[in-house]
């Protein structure tokens, strides 16, 4: 299977992801409504109702199974990107299933339950660990960044920006900085351990645009000055 990602030259448009699937290969697309062009036998695409577990994880009812030989193109709206990752069966990263755009045949999934405290704050119940050999496509907002964990010096990452982290990582939801900084920011993961963390750089763009919009000076002051004003004052 070959995946070719095509971006608009000015960076302001959407992204096209072109797939070439060889004979005896198969790929599962979890956002079939984004497929805008297909070339191959009509029988090469089969849409299926996901099982109950898949429906809960993805909040979707249908997935598309595409088998080769065929070619197709999926389109993403502005601001969204797909990061392709080749798995060799040794990865210990945990993902949010909602980030999954596609996965190839040979990839299996296992769920990992979050703690009750983290469920309450993140409004998420499980993370997913991928096993097997093949490729997956992760749907993100903006560029994907990577940072190495340290066993002793913590890394703080915005909780809503995390894409994947190692299963061995020690996590704690927290804020950091002085009194004003800790009131103003959203929850962050305080992370230590071994391996790499993936996080998306586009999650803050909506807040940045809002903060630079034509809001009145009073609303902007209250948002900045009041404890958790950025959360309660929209």
Average pLDDT over residues 125-136: 88
Give pLDDT tens digits for 139-149: 988 888 999 99
Cα 91 versus chain centre, distance: 17
Average pLDDT over residues 109-123: 71
Q: How far apart are CA 127 and CA 165, in angstroms?
A: 10
Give pLDDT tens digits for 152-176: 999 999 988 889 999 889 988 899 9
Q: How far apart are CA 20 and CA 214, in angstroms?
A: 46
Is the model more confident about 7 or about 164?
164
pLDDT at 218 over 80: no
Lowest-confidence pick of 20-24, 135-139, 190-194, 226-230: 226-230
Average pLDDT over residues 116-123: 64
pLDDT at 120 over 90: no
pLDDT of residue 219: 58
Q: How far apart are CA 6 and CA 17, in angstroms?
A: 6
Give pLDDT tens digits for 173-203: 899 999 888 877 888 999 999 999 999 987 6
pLDDT of residue 97: 82
Q: How far apart are CA 193 and CA 29, in angstroms?
A: 32
pLDDT of residue 77: 86
pLDDT of residue 43: 94
Q: CATH code for 142-224?
A: 3.60.160.10
Q: 208: pLDDT confidence band, cut at 50, 70 and 90?
A: low
Q: How far apart are CA 138 and CA 103, in angstroms?
A: 9
Give pLDDT tens digits for 74-104: 999 888 889 999 998 888 899 988 889 999 9
Q: How far apart are CA 189 and CA 181, in angstroms?
A: 15
Q: How far apart are CA 192 and CA 211, in angstroms?
A: 32
Average pLDDT, the chain: 82
Q: How far apart are CA 112 and CA 115, in angstroms?
A: 10
Give pLDDT tens digits for 23-75: 999 999 999 999 999 999 999 999 988 765 555 555 567 889 999 999 999 99
pLDDT of residue 210: 55
Q: How far apart are CA 207 and CA 215, in angstroms?
A: 12
Give the start-to-end residue ranges of the domains of the chain.
1-139, 142-224
Under 8 Å between Cβ of 136 and 91 = no
């Amino acid at each position: 299977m070959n995946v070719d990602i095509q971006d608009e030259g000015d960076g302001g448009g959407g992204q096209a992801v072109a797939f070439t699937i060889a004979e005896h290969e198969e790929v599962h697309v979890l956002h079939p409504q984004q497929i805008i062009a297909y070339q191959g036998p009509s029988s090469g695409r089969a849409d299926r109702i996901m099982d109950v577990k898949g429906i809960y994880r993805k909040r979707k009812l249908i997935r598309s199974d595409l088998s080769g030989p065929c070619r197709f193109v999926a389109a993403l709206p502005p601001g969204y990107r797909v990061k392709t990752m080749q798995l060799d069966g040794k990865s210990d990263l945990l993902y949010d299933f909602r980030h999954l755009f596609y996965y190839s045949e040979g990839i299996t999934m296992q769920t990992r339950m979050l703690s009750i405290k983290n469920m309450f704050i993140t409004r998420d119940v499980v993370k997913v660990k991928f096993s097997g050999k093949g490729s997956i496509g992760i749907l993100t907002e903006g560029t994907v960044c990577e940072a190495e964990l340290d066993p002793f010096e913590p890394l703080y990452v915005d909780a809503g920006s995390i894409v994947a982290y190692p299963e061995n990582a020690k996590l704690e939801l927290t804020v950091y900085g002085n009194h004003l900084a800790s009131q103003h920011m959203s929850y962050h993961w305080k992370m230590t351990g071994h391996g790499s963390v993936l996080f998306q750089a586009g999650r803050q763009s909506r807040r940045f645009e809002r903060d630079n919009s034509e809001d009145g000076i009073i609303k902007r002051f209250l948002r900045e000055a009041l404890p958790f004003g950025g959360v309660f004052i929209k």
